[in-house]
Every structure is written in structure tokens, then in C-alpha cells.
Structure 1
Amino acid sequence: MTVEIGLGLQSDKPAGAYARLARRAEECGFDVLTVFGDLMYQPPIFPLLEMAAATERVRLGPACLNPYSMAPYEIAGQVAALDLASRGRAYLGLARGTWLGAVGIAQPRPIAALRECAEVVYRLLSGDSAGYTGEVFTLAPGTALRYRVWRPDPPLLLGAWGARGAALAGRIAAEIKVGGSANPAMVPVIRERLRAGAARDGRRVDDVGIVLGAVTVVDRDGEAARSRARTEVAMYLAVVADLDPTAGVPADLVARVTDLVGAGEHAAAGRLIPDDVLDLFAFAGTPERVAERAQALIDAGVRRVEFGTPHGLTDEGGVDLLGTAVLPLLRRPPTVAGGPPAAAKTATTGRTGPREVEAG
């Protein structure tokens, strides 16, 4: 099995910073660069295009865009632009999205919305102008992109934790990302959730790469790194602890952390998080400790480990230390330069034109 190591970046940086980080990451040997699509941050297309121009080998994509705040034809246009700029190194990440209620956007029927959004995107990229009528999205006959695309089928990643989302990924995706987790015990759980969808469409469960990614803080000063990571994890512990059926995080701990975060006491909230809980939801500490946690995921069968922001006590220092002190410690097969794992290529959708995904 080919294993990739990636970096996940927050889109909160000035112009030029993304190119510097991307060049350094590629020099160090990272395989994939992801930009988060979090609410109220810069749209990921801006940093992704900057990074595409600064690199030659790494895969690039957003994790994730959502079908509620962006129409499928716009999503198709953005992934086509990134694929063109990177000369065929783009992937598309889709998820239902989080916190959209803050901007007045409802999220009804998320599985249907994701399924149909992917269908419309790949119909447009493939040049199919026959039209499409779904429960959520439609394309009128004759509707087609008015520009040429690099590829009709850049790989699809779905962001999901739950059984229904994972089953959908089993049917249509090349990868599934479990964001906010560094827990090896989640890997077999996700694999079984993928299996239901994969079996329905005659695919092998191993056709879908499992990606786990989480907050990462690495530093030679391991305690300083873990202190910073605790503060970061406190802000989303209430969400991910509830999603992970294997974690067993005490409800009273989650409640106390949530109350402190709500009061703006992030550092105090972080100090409540014990070491064993922190290691489930972050890569944190010395390079050796971070490598040990990442290796546990590789041994559990992930196809990609993604080290998320803030990487270190500083962005540049964290990326450099991950590349020079963590990557050399990981035991993994060589990656396929410039492209996704071979299984992911066939798992994208398996089509040169769109494959109909039936409703239901």
C-alpha cells in the first residue's frame, strides 16, 4: 500500500507565505498540501493557486468545499482552475460544512446534497451536456463548461466521520478524510463504514484511501508543543469527542472544556485535557513523539497522514521540523510522484465520463 504524508494549512496567511511553505514542504518530501475551507477564513482557492505555482510534484486540494455555500458549477470551476494551474495535481474535497448557521445557511439533506454535487461537478468536468435532474441539484440539457479542463476526473475526497457519509465515500470517493483525529482505533471503524457503500457499488473497500489529520504542534521543547496543542484541541473537543465511538472521553471533562472555551478561557480549557485524550486528537510534542503517533496510524492502515495547522510554535519552524525530523522517522513505502496512490486513481469514479449515482 502506498502511504502519503501531507500538510493541512489554515488560510489565514498573507500573500507569499503559502508559496514559501509549499516550496519548503515539497523540498522536505511531503506528498500532499491541503488548505482548509473553514468558515470566515480566506477561500482556499487563493492559497492553493499560489502553492501550485511554487511547486512541481505535490498534490493539492481543498478540504473541504461544501455544496451549500458554493454551487456545484462553481466548485467544478475551482477544481478545474487548480488542476490547470498545477498541471494535473489537484484533488477535490467535499464535505457538508460546519458552523454555516452563523451566516444563515441551512444544511438540509446533506448526503443527497453531497452525492448530487459530486455528480454535477464530474458531469461538467467530463463535458456531459445531457442534463441532470436530482433531488437537490439540476443541470438543464445543453449546460456545459465553456472552457477546456485539464482532466475530467480529479480525485474526489469526502470529509466524513459518520456511517452515512462514510458509506457515500465508499461508493463514489477516492479518499475519505476524518478531520480532527489522530486515533488509530478510528481506522477500522471507518473501514467498516466504508464497506457498506463500497459493496453496494461493487467496489473494494481498499479502493478508498483513509486519511486522518489533526492539529499538529512539534517542537524540540515537547512540553511547550503539547501546551499549545491542548489549547488548539480544546476549541473542537466537544465536536470530535462525540464523533469518535472509541475515545471514551468523559462527558464531564467535555462539558468543563466547552464551558471554558465559551468563556474565552482557551488556555485554561486546554490545561484540563489529559495526555491520553490529547494524543487521540492531535500530533503533539517532540519530533519523536509526533512520529510515533503518525506511525501508529500508518500501521493501522491509513493511506495518508495529514499534519494540520499550526504545525509548530511557528508555521515555518513547524513545517521545517516535520520535514527534517519527523518524516525521516516514518516507515512507509515510496509514494507515486505527482499523483495520488494507484488505487485512488481508479477509485475516483472509474470513468472518463460521468457515472450515474442513483438517488437513495
Structure 2
Amino acid sequence: MAPVEIGLGLQSDKRAGDYARLARRAEEDGFDVLTVFGDLMYQPPIFPLLEMAAATTRVRLGTACLNPYSMAPYEIAGQAAALDLASHGRAYLGLARGTWLGAVGIDQPRPLAALEEAAQVVYRLLGGDTTGFEGRVFRLAPGTALRYAVHRPDPPLLLGAWGPRGAALAGRIAGEIKVGGSANPAMVSVIRDRVRTGAEAAGRSVDDVGIVLGAVTVVDTDGAAARAKARTEVAMYLAVVADLDPTVEIPADLLARVKELVDAGADTEAGRLIPDDLLDLFAFSGTPEQVAAQAQTLIDAGVRRVEFGTPHGLTDDRGVALLGSAVLPLLRREPAPVRPAATGPGSGS
């Protein structure tokens, strides 16, 4: 079984130089993967990723996620190739259908076909396949090829998905599936069963697909302040992810009130309505010991990777520093050696 990875997920809202500093610190502390989110109206993730590639030598790097509605598959192939070249083969490609694209006038028809065909087009281009492709959503004319060399033809594919059909697609074609916005260990078995459907249909093992869970993270030695900030962050997306988790029942009146307050710009007030047990299903928050304990429940449930998402702490730098210096050691701690039973005088034998 592949070792469990611990990753950081960064929002692309920082200044030039910030990404390199945070990435360098994260790699030194022992993180395995650095992800940049591809959220609507933030900086395109390729800029942060290229900066982080230049500042690191070991960590894997990728976007979670690009979508084939706002970026054509040939452009996705180009960005994946650029990152893989800049990082000397450390890139992964994240694809998802995307969220909130209606705000910029982009429809999302046939999402499963769009994702599957986009992946086919990307990997045909990266692999130098010039036979052409004719899909329901995308096409490549015969002879169409990239006009530059790529580092690898097959950087690993991650699909972002919660639902049964998206997870089954990941089971057929992806190396990882990311459930974004969840810290709920009960979702791991749900996703595994959904992935298994597609994996077995494709003649693969469900274990071929790593399950990644990632969520808002706020860690601080002041656990109460960290959890208060996490509540505010979670309130902003609770209405989006709550309906996606079949293991959780949230009172309709609570969800409606949270959404009403968020829509009115009262995020902090909305966050105060979220009880502790609900917060822990959608965020990692509190002291380093609390955050490590939450992450360990996901590892025990069988995830391949835990991803600590933005904002990390009360400030970016302090959060990343605490995750690396105080949380990671708790997750990577070796079990105490088993000592042989005493047999000498006074041992009770």
C-alpha cells in the first residue's frame, strides 16, 4: 500500500514571492504535496505553481482543479506540461467540473462526458498521439500535435468529485480522487465504494485510486481563536458541500439561516451558528493536537492523502509553520518500540 501523504492546499490570492517562501518552508518541514486551488476569480494557479516549482526540489505540485469549461483541453495540456517541465517531473493534473461558473456566464453541460473527454484529449496531446479524437464534447483533428517537447506524457491525474458518477469516473481513469471541503472520515468508505464501481468496470483495483480529503484548516496555539476563524470560513461554503455528504443531516432551518447570513455578508455571525460536531466534519481547526487528531481519523479511515487547506492559521505564515512544526510530527510519529518483558528481580515473575 502506498504511504499516506500530507499536503497543503493554497489559495491563489498572494503576492509574488509569498508562494516561494511558503513552499520552501513546507518542503523543509516534510510536506509531500503542494496544491493550488483553481477557484473562480482568483489568480490562475499556474503562476503560483511555477514559483513554487522553482523554490522546491521534492514535493509534488498541482492544481485542484482546472475545469474544461473555462479552459480548453489543449490549454490544460500546455499548463500541465509547463509545470511538469519546471518541476522536473513533479506535477500532477487536477480536473473537476468547476463551481459557480454561472457567475461568469459559462454553462456546464454533460459534465461527466466533458471531464472524461478532456482527460483523453490532454493525454493524447501529451503522449504525441496524432490519430485524432471525435467525442461528444471535444475533438482533435487527425495530425493535431503539440509543437513543443514535454517532460512526461503521463503526469498523474486527479479528479475532484463527490458524487457517485464522478467517483466512478475516477475509478476508471484517475490515480486520485479529491473530496474538497470535507474532513469527515465517514466519507472515505462512501467514496471508496463509489470509486470501486468504476474501477472494477475498467479492470482496475479500487486501491489503484488514492482518496484525498481536504478542507479549510485553521491551527493555532489559541485553539478557540482558530476554531472561531474556521467557523467563519466554513459558513461561506457550507451550503455548497452540505448536500453532497450523504452521511450528514443538517437541520434545514440551520442551513437556511447560515446561507441567509452569508448572502447578507454576515459571515462571522453565520459561523457562530455552526456547532462543534458539524465544524469538525468540514474543517480542520483548533490546536495542533486537535488538528492532528482530526487528520489521524482520516488516515485511519484509509485516505491516501490529507490536504490542509487555506487559510491554515490566523495568518498564512504562522499556520504553515505550526502545521509543519507541530502537526506533522504528531502524524509522522513512530510508534514506541515494544520492550521485552522484564524477567529479573522485582519483575513479578
- SS of 1:91's equivalent in the other structure is strand
Residue 38 of structure 1: CA displacement? 0.2
What residue is the counterpart of 2:213 in the other structure?
Answer: 212
Q: 2:273 matched to which residue of 1? A: 272
Partner secondary structure for residue 74 of structure 2? helix
Q: Secondary structure at the match of 2:158?
A: strand
Instruction: Pick 1 or 2: higher relative contact order, CA cutoff 8 A, min separation 6.
Output: 1
1:28 is aligned to 29
- The change in CA–CA distance for 1:187 and 1:3 in structure 2 (over 3 A counts) is same
**Identical-pair percentage:** 83
Cα deviation for residue 117 of structure 1 reads: 0.1
Aligned partners of 1:57, 1:36: CA distance in 2, in Å?
20
Could you say which residue in structure 1 is the equivalent of 2:338?
none
Corresponding pairs, count: 333
Which residue identity does 1:191 align to in structure 2? Answer: R
2:331 counterpart residue number: 330
Q: Runs in 1 of length 4+ with deviation above 2 angstroms?
A: none
**Structure ID, larger Rg:** 2
User: How far apart, CA to CA, are the structure 2 residues paired with 1:47 and 1:315?
Assistant: 15
Q: Could you say what the CA RMSD is over the residues aligned between the two structures, in angstroms?
A: 0.8
**1:250, CA displacement in angstroms?**
1.4
Deviation readout 1:165-196 (Å, 9 max, x if unpaired): 00000000000000000000000000000011
1:241-260 alignment to 2 at 5 Å?
Answer: 241-260=242-261
- Residue 190 of structure 2 aligns with an amino acid whose one-letter code is V
TM-superposed CA distance for 1:252, in Å, is 1.2
> Mind listing any 5+ residue stretches in structure 1 that lack a counterpart?
334-360
d(CA) in 1 for partners of 2:253, 2:196:
34
1:54-105 CA deviation, whole Å, 9 max, x = no partner? 0000000000000000000000000000000000000000000000000000
Once the two structures are TM-superposed, the CA of residue 284 in structure 1 deviates from its matched residue by 0.2
- The aligned residue for residue 54 of structure 1 is 55
Mapping 1:38-187, distance limit 5 Å: 38-187=39-188
Tell me the CA shift for residue 248 of structure 1. Answer: 1.4
Q: TM-score, normalised by structure 1?
A: 0.92
Match of 1:225 in 2: 226
Cα distance in 1 for partners of 2:332, 2:186 equals: 19
Aligned-pair CA distance for 1:42: 0.1
Question: 1:45 and 1:13, CA in 2 relative to 1: closer, same or farther beyond 3 A?
Answer: same
Q: Counterparts of 2:159 and 2:306 in 1: how far apart (Å)?
A: 15
* 1:298/1:332 contact within 8 Å kept: no
Paired position in structure 2 for 1:341: none
Deviation at 1:239, TM superposition (A): 1.1
Distance in 2 (alpha carbons) for counterparts of 1:240 and 1:96: 15
